[in-house]
Structure 1
Amino acid sequence: MEETCDFRSWDELIPDALGVIFTNLSLQERVTVIPRVCKSWAKAVTEPSCWQEIDIKEWNRFQPEQLDQMLEMLITRSRGSLRSLSVSGLQSERMFTFIAENAGSLQTLRLPRSSMSDSIVDQIAGRLSMISFLDVSYCIKIGASALETIGKNCKLLEVLCRNMHPLDTAGKPLQDDEAYAIASTMPKLKHLEMAYHQISTSGALQILSSCPKLEFFDQRGCWGVHLDDDVFLKQNFPKLKVLGPFVFDAHGIDAWDDDCSDVSDASEWDFVDGGMGEYYVDDSDSYDGMWDEEGRIDELQFGFYEGIEDAAMYWPPSP
């Protein structure tokens, strides 16, 4: 007897199942490719299960207001379930506040190169109590006061990235105020990055003695720190791995791997702000007039490189 198999269409999968599958795709595919496949996929990709982790560091080519529009849209989609957020170069105080207002489940927060200030941190830190991973590298407008506020409010913090660019600290005198702020408020730290800080050996030892769970300490480019006694470190901090202060690449050349400086070559995505039911568009829809005269975004949909020769070089294949 010939066996028969029932095949179920992808568009008949329940939204939660589709959401789990979509999380394996890149953000670019989720906001540009998936909504065009069919109406059920366009609806499923707006569900919170697709947006518990948001990484839009590659959007650094966009104007600040465009970045804010995209970030606000995606965080709204998460509906309070956001667990991880990574965005570089935020400028708007309103967006820092918006993130904090939606941070009930947020555990990982990466905000490198952002323009937050000590006063903004004072306003929002109380809502970041669930944070265990924080990256505020290259945020030159905050200092020891902000770190102390963060430490007092983020009691679960285990990872802190507070790297600086060498041009921002070169020639400045040794200063341990940030090191002391970390030591006095972040006892649960396991991983700390403070590359190119002008801290002293005293500041570094204060951190080590106050953070007994510390397993990794990146102090590359911290030329004022001298932790050369391997016996002392092994006896007092047996689980600790210290990186630096010297910075060498594989060829022995002094270098610093600035993971936030890479410029994504992803294609620019034009988008507009509007209702959740407007993501699916027929091929006949026109993309003209997406921006109004003031350059603002009118409705939420994404432009594609239709009609561009060799578009496949720039655009990911449809699923």
Structure 2
Amino acid sequence: MGKKRVVVSSSETTAVVVEQLRGWEGLNPEILALIFVRIPADAMVRGVPFVCKPWMEVVAGPYCWHDIDVEAWCRRRDVSRAVDVDFVVKKLVRRSKFTVQRLSAYRLGESGFFLVSICGRSLKVLQSPMSSITDYMVIKHIKPLPNLKLLDISHCYKITHKGIAAFGNHCKSLIHLKRRMPPLLDEDCSPIDDSEAKTIATTMVSLQRIELCFGRFGDMGISEIVTKCKSLTHLDIEGSCNVELNYGDLKEICESLEHFRCPQIDYSDGFFDNDEASEDVDSVSSIYD
């Protein structure tokens, strides 16, 4: 049998390539979203929607916004006004149709916090360091967030033990609290204020990981935490100059934890090195999925 030679014109080749490209358009929106979310949020908004109409519809829909991370954008833009952050956060939360599972944003304000707080059962991780949220805002706007597992309110100067109590009373599934504050000056180390530590111990008893760097609390406050938070495995109180670990058997209890960092321990020997800390973060982050 003789061989038959087929010649394909350039126009036909182009048609085949175009047809293959159209396969992307026909993909399920959820599958496309899994690809798009690997792109930084601001880059995705600026570039992806202009490729084709189906891609624009995917980015405008809820599937790309279950995880909202604008932390890098906040850093790069040096956004100093909460209203700018709130505008972006509100827009993306609405796109998600209030199905956000994780939000990470600096300098969150009242209107942004309000919209995030009504995400309800879907929200698992809320990271809003350096926000302007006050106790009054938290008490006024916080709704039950039964599945929230990680809360980061580091460098939130306007939140006190009253706001922490409101979070604790509405977020019963919390297992990780970040409450890192800026380093204290020597004259700021007194008087001791155990109010936040005692509130955490009373309202967040299920916590497994607690980061309270540079807090004003003393031995009594830490004793309340390690006594009442029965599931605690990680405690970081580095820079908390009022802690002396001289209260009863507090030192022994703290050192029996899986990981413990405090002002009295020298970390130069690799007690809590970065590799080990990174592994811990990776292992715990899987719990939030």
Q: TM-score, normalised by structure 1?
A: 0.70
1:117 is matched by which residue type in structure 2?
T
Aligned CA distance change for structure 1 residues 146 and 245 (closer, same or farther; 3 Å): same
**Are residues 1:99 and 2:111 paired?**
no
Q: Name the counterpart of 1:25.
A: 39
**Are residues 1:201 and 2:219 paired?**
yes
Task: Give matches, 1:63-102, under 5 Å.
Answer: 63-91=81-109, 93-102=110-119
| Shift in Å, 1:49 | 1.4
Task: Give matches, 1:24-63, under 5 Å.
Answer: 24-60=38-74, 61-62=78-79, 63=81
Q: Name the counterpart of 1:224.
A: 242
| Shift in Å, 1:59 | 3.3
How many angstroms apart in 1 are the aligned matches of 2:83 and 2:259? 41
Contact 2:165 2:199 in 1 (8 A): yes
2:226 is matched by which residue type in structure 1?
L
Q: Bigger radius of gyration, 1 or 2?
A: 2
- Between the two structures, name the one with larger relative contact order (CA 8 Å, sep ≥ 6): 1
Unaligned runs of 5+ in 1: 253-319
How many angstroms apart in 2 are the aligned matches of 1:45 and 1:235? 50
Q: Name the counterpart of 1:154.
A: 171
Aligned CA distance change for structure 1 residues 45 and 169 (closer, same or farther; 3 Å): farther
Q: Name the counterpart of 1:10.
A: 24
Larger CA deviation: 45-54 vs 57-66: 57-66
How many angstroms apart in 2 are the aligned matches of 1:139 and 1:247? 27
Q: Deviation string for 1:11-60 (max 9, x for gaps)?
A: 22222221121122221221111112111111111221110000112333
How many angstroms apart in 1 are the aligned matches of 2:61 and 2:192? 49
| Shift in Å, 1:84 | 0.3
Structure 1 residue ranges (4+ consecutive) displaced by more than 6 angstroms after TM superposition: 247-252
How many residue pairs end up in the alignment? 249
SS of aligned partner of 1:109: strand
| Shift in Å, 1:133 | 0.6
Q: Name the counterpart of 2:196.
A: 178
Please point out which of 134, 138, 148 is paired with 1:131. Answer: 148
- Identity, % of aligned pairs? 29
Aligned CA distance change for structure 1 residues 13 and 170 (closer, same or farther; 3 Å): farther
Aligned CA distance change for structure 1 residues 28 and 85 (closer, same or farther; 3 Å): same
1:134 is matched by which residue type in structure 2?
L
Contact 1:125 1:154 in 2 (8 A): no
How many angstroms apart in 2 are the aligned matches of 1:165 and 1:84? 25
Larger CA deviation: 101-110 vs 47-56: 101-110
Contact 2:226 2:253 in 1 (8 A): no
Q: Deviation string for 1:205-259 (max 9, x for gaps)?
A: 1100110100100100011213389x9756687443111225978799xxxxxxx
| Shift in Å, 1:153 | 1.6
Contact 1:100 1:124 in 2 (8 A): yes
How many angstroms apart in 1 are the aligned matches of 2:25 and 2:186? 54
SS of aligned partner of 2:48: helix
Q: Name the counterpart of 2:132.
A: 115
Contact 2:123 2:145 in 1 (8 A): yes
Unaligned runs of 5+ in 2: 4-18, 271-289
RMSD (Å), alpha carbons: 3.1
Aligned CA distance change for structure 1 residues 205 and 89 (closer, same or farther; 3 Å): same
Aligned CA distance change for structure 1 residues 41 and 228 (closer, same or farther; 3 Å): farther
Aligned CA distance change for structure 1 residues 232 and 97 (closer, same or farther; 3 Å): closer
| Shift in Å, 1:64 | 3.1
How many angstroms apart in 1 are the aligned matches of 2:253 and 2:205? 20
Higher helix share: 2
Please point out which of 229, 234, 237 is paired with 1:211. Answer: 229
